[in-house]
Amino acid sequence: MAVDHAQAGLRERKRLATRRAIEFAALGLVAEKGLERVTVDEISRIADISPRTFFNYFTSKESALVGDAPELPPAEAIDAYVHYSAGSVFDGLGTLLADATEGESHDTELLLLRRGLLKEYPQLFAMRMTAMRAFEEQLREVIALRLVADDPHLASDPKLVLSRSRLITHVAFGAMKHAWSCWADNEGGVVLSERLKDSFAELGRILAPAHAT
Amino acid sequence: MAVDHAQAGLRERKRLATRRAIEFAALGLVAEKGLERVTVDEISRIADISPRTFFNYFTSKESALVGDAPELPPAEAIDAYVHYSAGSVFDGLGTLLADATEGESHDTELLLLRRGLLKEYPQLFAMRMTAMRAFEEQLREVIALRLVADDPHLASDPKLVLSRSRLITHVAFGAMKHAWSCWADNEGGVVLSERLKDSFAELGRILAPAHAT
DNA sequence: TGCAAGTTTGCAGACAGTGCAAGAATGCAA
DNA sequence: TTGCATTCTTGCACTGTCTGCAAACTTGCA
């Protein structure tokens, strides 16, 4: 998990380099010729590996394009969220998710190429979301903890906790998608984590004061 | 659209019958042997058509499994929602979506087979959601109308309307997913449209009275 | 009855993806 | 440095998806 890439043996470094070469070749080719007109053979040729090796790194052409799912932020950040207990369940979620996506920022070049593609090909965006299933479930567990922390009575009704945490997770992912599309629309700077906070803030504004129009 | 299936010419009826035969064969085989162990050749053999014909009806093995996206409910229902103007934007949405999914209820046999599969194979569920992209955009336009009806001032800021309607659409789809998983969990009766209303009601309960704990 | 339009099918072929086994590179310890 | 275990790369054969094309067939309609 999140190994320090600087020094980890030749083998590890080579593997990382190959991985990046494949992603780079794939993203570049698709940006240039369009998703349908790029084959694994071609990607492999550019990345200078055999087509067979491509599939040692990625399970499909698409998975080389969409990137990995984020990881949950460190335990302290999670604890802070779980025991925040001021404002609604959603209030801290934007920050939490922002922290989670922060980790991806290291490879800006790939990040921007990918942003363009995910915007151009909604199918790829959908695949990326699908790839976050595990992350989604982890987040749901965190939310369940928060629900019980907010209202200890709930602990006696695990089914309700499950149902509510699911609903909130789905809604939070909705806000995340929104943040992502705003971020992708906006050619300029603005980091994703900021957009995330904005989207959650807007969600709060739309929902909570529904009567105080 | 939504042609009356009863009488529409032999050609049309045959086409519909073939389509159903394929879906039925596909769903049955997958339920019996598992998604990976079923091939298009096999489906075609059971449906009594050539493999080539399979692809005249569906663009992929999966699309024969997931079913079509719903259509927007009739104009009156939409108008009623747009001009409801009591309660939050979400309040009428559950009913609206319930109406939209109501149309699918005609083929119960396929519906139940499909429910089981979408639950067992989350990838298929994800594909179904992806197939609803067009529906999602239509819904967003309805929501945009409602936003402007609620607050005419907004009409002067189309960007804000776009952003908000997107956010609300994403959140609504989150609630829809929640409704769907509850419905699929629950072996018993309960129609999807009822679950939808429940999920939206719960969403309202969680969000609006966040202060009135 | 006969023609136009739509449907089915077989065939050839591009491409995705997997299992296997041989060979090359790396890590490690003597 | 050498030798051995481990891991990575590659070629090959094979299964399966999906498309284009053209020939045969079916239905709609005059």
Supply the DSSP string of A118-160, one letter for each residue: HHH-HHHHHHHHHHTHHHHHHHHHHHHHHHHHH-GGGGG-HHH
Range in A44-53, A71-80, B103-112, B161-170 with the lowest mean pLDDT:
B103-112
Distance CA(A77)–CA(B212), nearest Å, equals 27
The answer to whether A15 CB is within 7 Å of strand D is: yes
First-to-last alpha carbon distance for chain B, in angstroms, is 47
3-state helix, strand, coil in chain A (%, to 5): 75, 0, 25
Say what the pLDDT of residue A212 is.
44
Q: pLDDT digits over B38-55, tens only? A: 999 999 999 999 999 999
Say what the pLDDT of residue B211 is.
46
The tokens of B188 are what? 């018993």
The tokens of B130 are what? 């992806």
Say what the pLDDT of residue A162 is.
95
Name the percent of chain B lying above pLDDT 90.
68
Say what the pLDDT of residue A139 is.
97
Q: Give the CA A43 to C1' C17 distance in Å.
A: 15
Say what the pLDDT of residue A2 is.
40
**Best of A85, A167, A173 to disrupt the B interface by mutation (most B CBs within 10 Å)?**
A167
The answer to whether B40 CB is within 7 Å of strand D is: yes
Question: How close, in Å, is residue B68 to chain A by CA atoms?
Answer: 17
The answer to whether A52 CB is within 7 Å of strand D is: yes
Say what the pLDDT of residue B123 is.
93
Nearest to B71 by CA among B147, B131, B31, B115: B131
Tally C-beta pairs within 8 A across A and B.
85
Q: Which pLDDT band holds residue B35 (cuts at 50, 70, 90)? A: very high
Q: pLDDT digits over B73-90, tens only? A: 999 999 999 998 777 888
B168 vs A contacts (CB less than 8 Å): 206
Say what the pLDDT of residue A203 is.
86
Contact B85, B60 (CB under 8 A): no
Q: Give the CA B163 to C1' D14 distance in Å.
A: 50
Within its chain, how far is the Cα of A117 from the centroid? 15
**In sequence order, what are the residues at sequence separation of 6 or more whose Cβ sits closer than 8 angstroms to the Cβ of residue B174?**
A167, A170, A171, A172, A173, A174
Question: How close, in Å, is residue A13 to chain B by CA atoms?
Answer: 33
Nearest to B14 by CA among B72, B70, B53, B46: B53
- Angle ∠(B78,B207,B205) on CA atoms, nearest 5: 80
Query: How confident is the prediction for chain A on average, in pLDDT?
Result: 89
> A151-172 burial by CB neighbour count: b if 16+ within 10 A, else e?
eeebeeeeeebebbbbbbbbbb
Contact B211, B115 (CB under 8 A): no
**Cα maximum dimension of chain B:** 63
CA B133 → CA A121, B139, B208, distances in Å?
A: 12, 10, 28
Interface of A with B (CB under 8 A): 87-90, 122-123, 126, 129-130, 133, 151, 163-164, 166-168, 170-175, 177-178, 181-182, 199, 202-203, 206-208, 210-211, 213
Say what the pLDDT of residue B88 is.
83
Say what the pLDDT of residue B102 is.
76
Nearest to A31 by CA among A158, A121, A91: A121
**In sequence order, what are the residues at sequence separation of 6 or more whose Cβ sits closer than 8 angstroms to the Cβ of residue B89?**
A206, B143, B146, B147, B150, B168
B122 vs A contacts (CB less than 8 Å): 130, 133
CA B7 → CA B2, B4, B11, B22, B108, distances in Å?
A: 13, 7, 10, 21, 21
* Residue recorded with tokens 């694994």: A40
Say if residue B28's pLDDT is above 50: yes
Residues of chain A with pLDDT under 50: 1-6, 210-213
Say what the pLDDT of residue B105 is.
66
Q: What's B58's DSSP letter?
A: -
Chain C: positions less than 7 Å from a protein CB are 6-11, 14-20, 26-28
3 state DSSP class of A29: helix
Q: Give the CA B47 to C1' C2 distance in Å.
A: 33
Contact B38, B64 (CB under 8 A): no
The tokens of A14 are what? 């080579």
Say what the pLDDT of residue B91 is.
83
Interface of B with A (CB under 8 A): 87-90, 122-123, 126, 129-130, 133, 151, 163-164, 166-168, 170-175, 177-178, 181-182, 199, 202-203, 206-208, 210-211, 213
* Residue recorded with tokens 């999966």: B62
**In sequence order, what are the residues at sequence separation of 6 or more whose Cβ sits closer than 8 angstroms to the Cβ of residue A168?**
A89, A90, A140, A143, A147, B206
Say what the pLDDT of residue B7 is.
60
**In sequence order, what are the residues at sequence separation of 6 or more whose Cβ sits closer than 8 angstroms to the Cβ of residue B42?**
B29
More confident position, A194 or B124: B124
Say if residue B29's pLDDT is above 70: yes
